[in-house]
A and B are shown apart, each in its own frame.
Chain A
Amino acid sequence: MDFSLPTEPMNHKRKNPDPSPDSDESTTQLSSPFPDEVLERVLSLLNSRKDRNSVSLVCKDWYDAERWSRTHVFIGNCYSVSPEILTRRFPNIRSVTLKGKPRFSDFDLVPPKWGAYVHSWLLVFATKYHFLEELRLKRMTVSDENLKLLALSFPNFKALSLLSCDGFSTDGLASITTHCKNLTELDIQENDIDDKSGKWLSCFPENFMSLEVLNFANLNSDVNFEALERLVSRCKSLKVLKVNENMTLEQLHRLLVLAPHLRELGTGSLLQELTPRQHSELKSAFNNCKNLNMLSGFYEVTSIFLPVLYPACTSLTFLNLSYAALRSDELSNLLVHCPLLQRLWVLDSVEDEGLEAVGSNCPLLEELRVFPASDPFEDEILHGVTEAGFLAVSYGCKKLHYVLYFCRQMTNAAVATIVQNCPDFTHFRLCIMNPRQPDYQTNEPMDEAFGAVVKTCTKLRRLAVSGLLTDLTFEYIGKYANNLETLSVAFAGSSDRGMECVLKGCPKLRKLEIRDCPFGNAALLSSFRKYESMRSLWMSGCKVTMDGCRLLAQEMPRLNVEVIRECGNDGFQADKLYVYRSVAGPRKDAPSFVLTL
C-alpha cells in the first residue's frame, strides 16, 4: 500500500466550487485559501506518489483535492486494501498498478492457488472506473474470464502489462486484441501462461493502428507472421516490439524494414545460417534503426550473427543478453560498439574476462545484472564469475548504482574495494550461489563485506545478502542502512539478535524477506510495532512457531498474520509466515492451506 490512509474512510462529497464566506463545513477548521478547483488543478500536476501522500496529509481540503485529482494508483500489496475502499477514496483513477503474491513466489516458495486474484478488483473497477486506461499487474492470478471482462468493460482501455502472472491462456489475450480498440500497449512478460496458439495476434482488427508497445517474447506458439507484418506496418507509432523465439532472421529483417523507428527491439532466436546477402541486408536494416535504445531476446545466438547488430548499438542504453550464453570474446567484441550503455544484463558464461570488457567499454554503465547460465545444482560450476569480474566493472564504471550478481565466490576485501569505487549504490544484490559460503581467501564470514556496503553506500535502498554471515552483518545493517527499504536474507545469521538488530534500526524498511535463518519468536516479536510501518514481512524455514505468530496477531490487530500450512507439517512450527499491514481486514479468499491468525 503506497498511499497513506487515515483510519476512517472519508465520505465527503465534492465541495462546492464557489467558496462562500459562511461555508457550513468549516467553522472549526482552517479552510484552504484557494478555491477547490485551483488546488485540484495544481495538484493534478503532481505525479510522484510520495508527494501525493504528503499532500493528502496536510489538511482535509488538500486530502480531498488530492483524491479527486489522482489518476494513477500503485498498490504494492493487493491485500492491503480492498477495491471498495480504493474506489471510494479515489474516484477518478485511469491507471492502476497492482502487485499480488510475495516475491518469494517467484522461487516456488508459495504454493499454487495462494490467491492474489484480480477478479474482485475488476468487478469493482467495471462499475467505478469506467474510464480505466491502464492496468499493470505483477504476481497476480488472472483468468481468461477476467481478461474478457477487462476487454469488454473499459471502452478507453489502452495499456495492459502482465508480469509474473498466472492463470490465463492465449485465449484471454485474444479477448484483449479483439475488443480493445484503443490499445496502445500489450506487454506480456515472464508469465505462467497456457500457451494454446498464436491466434490472438490475428484478432487485432485490420483497421487497428494504435499499438505502441507489443511484447510477446514470453509466448512460444507461432503467430501468423503475415498478420504481424500487417500490424507493424499499420501501427506507425510502434516504439517497442519484442517477438518470441520462433521468429526467424528473415522475418526479423522484414519487420525492421517496416519499423526502423523502433526504440526497443526484442529478437527471436538467432541461430539460422545467413547468406552473405542476407547478412548485409540485415546489417543495413539495423543500421537504419537510429532510435534503438534497447535490445533484448537473443535466444540462442552465434558469433557470426552479432556483428550484424553493431551499427544499431551506437545509441543503445539497455542491452539484455540474459538469455544468450555468450563467451567473453563475443561480449567484448559487441561492447566495443556500445559506448552509451547504461544497463546491461548478461549470463555468467561471459566470465570475469567478459566483465573486464564491460569495465573497459562502458563508462556510463549504471546497472549490471549477471545471471547464472546453468543450474548450479545440475552442472558443475567450473565457469561463472567471481569477485574479479565485479571488481573490474567497479574500476571502469563509476556510475554503477544497481547490481544483481550471481557468483560462485567472493571476498570481503573485494566488496570493500568495489563500494569504495562505486559509493552510490542504491541496489546491491549479491548472491554467492553456495549457501553459507565464507570468504574463500580468508575463510571468514562475509560480515565485513556487507558492513562495508552499508557504511559506504548511504543511498542504499535495496540489499540482498548471501554467503556465510553471522549476526554482525545484521548489526551493521541495522546501524548504518538508514535508507534501506528492501532487505532479502537467506541462510544467514547466528541467532535472534540478527533479525532484532535489523528491526530496531533501518528506519525506512518496507519489505523484509527471510528464508532459512535461525530467527525465531523472540526476533519476530522484538519490534512488532515496526511491521505496521512496513509493507510486508516474509519468513520461511526459520524457527518461528505457531504460538509466536498467534501472539503477534493478538498484539497487532491491524496486521494480517498468515501462515502457509503444508501437509505433513506438525502444527507447531510456522514454516512459512507472511505478515502485512492492511486496512481491508483478513483475507476473505484465503485457501485452506493459508491460516490467518
Chain B
Amino acid sequence: MESKVAYQNELNLKATELRLGLPGTDIESEEQALSSARNNKRPLPDNTKECGLKGSSDDAQHSDHEAAPPAKAQIVGWPPIRSYRKNNLQPKKTEAEASGIYVKVSMDGAPYLRKIDLRVYEGYPELLKALENMFKFTIGEYSEREGYKGSEFAPTYEDKDGDWMLVGDVPWDMFMSSCKRLRIMKGSEARGLGCGV
C-alpha cells in the first residue's frame, strides 16, 4: 500500500536529512546545517501549516510524496503531551545539542512559538533571514539610527537583565551570550497601529 511504502521511504530519507542544528555532533553536519541556514532551506517542509497538517486522506497521500519526511515534520501540539512534560524531555538529548544556545522565538499574532539554536548562525544577516523564513514575513533594513525600516516587524530580544532590546545593536557575540529569548514585534504594536485582521 502506498502509505506503507512512503513510510519506509521516510525512514531512509531521514538519514540524509538536513537539519537545523539537531543533533549534529560533527563538523560535517554543522556545515550542512549552516549551509542550509544560508540557503534558507528549511529541513521542515514549508507545507506544514500553522495549525498542523490538514486532515483529509487525499491530503495525506499528497503530502506523503511532497517534502521529506512529512510524517516526521513538526506538527504543532503533536504528539499530545503537555508542554511542561515536553520541556522536561530536553536533558535526554545528545552532548552537542546540550551545548547549543536554544532560545524561544515568538511572533506577535502567531499561534505558537519556535525554538532556534543561535550557534548555528554566523551573524545577524543569517539569523534574520532564518526568522523571515520561519514566520513568513520581511524585516526591514537595519540602521543604527532608526532601527528596522521598511516593514511593520521589528526583531527584539530579552537580555540577561530582563530588558527588551532591538536585535542588531550589539556585536554578534555579545548578543549570543546575552539573548534569553526573541520576540518579533509587530511594528504596529510598537507604533500603535492595528493588525488589520
A: residues with CB less than 8 A from B are 104, 106-109, 111, 164, 190-192, 218, 299-300, 322-323, 325, 371-380, 406, 431, 433-438, 440, 443, 468, 470, 488, 490-494, 515-519, 540-543, 564-569, 575-576, 592-593
Contact = CB atoms under 8 A, between A and B. Distances in A.
A569 B197 contact: yes
B57 interface: yes
B101 interface: no
A378 B22 contact: yes
Given A106-B83, A190-B84, A374-B89, A575 B78 contact: no
> Which of B50, B51, B92 counts the most chain A CB atoms within 10 A?
B51
Interface string B6-31: 01000000100000001100000000
Given A104-B77, A111-B111, A372-B79, A518 B55 contact: yes
Given A374-B89, A515-B52, A567-B109, A108 B76 contact: yes
A394 to B, nearest CB: 22
Given A434-B7, A542-B55, A566-B50, A371 B81 contact: yes
Interface string B59-94: 010000000000111111111111111101101110
A375 B3 contact: no
A108 B80 CA distance: 10
Given A190-B84, A374-B89, A377-B74, A568 B57 contact: no
Contacts of B195: 567, 592
13 contacts: A107-B78, A107-B80, A108-B112, A108-B113, A111-B111, A372-B89, A431-B79, A434-B7, A515-B51, A516-B55, A541-B54, A566-B111, A568-B50
A494 B81 contact: no
Contacts of B49: 541
B154 to A, nearest CB: 16
B89 A516 contact: no
Contacts of B197: 565, 567, 569, 592-593
Lowest 9 A-B CB distances belong to which pairs? A107-B77, A567-B109, A518-B56, A516-B55, A190-B84, A517-B55, A541-B51, A443-B1, A106-B82
Interface residues on B, range: 35 or more
Given A111-B111, A516-B55, A541-B52, A371 B85 contact: yes
Given A516-B55, A575-B51, A433 B4 contact: no
A437 B7 contact: yes
Given A374-B92, A567-B197, A107 B55 contact: no
B53 A516 contact: yes
Nearest to A107: B77
Contacts of B77: 104, 107-109, 515
A436 B76 contact: no
A592 B186 CA distance: 15
Given A109-B51, A575-B51, A494 B79 contact: no
Nearest to B195: A567
Nearest to B107: A567
A591 to B, nearest CB: 11
Contacts of B88: 299, 323
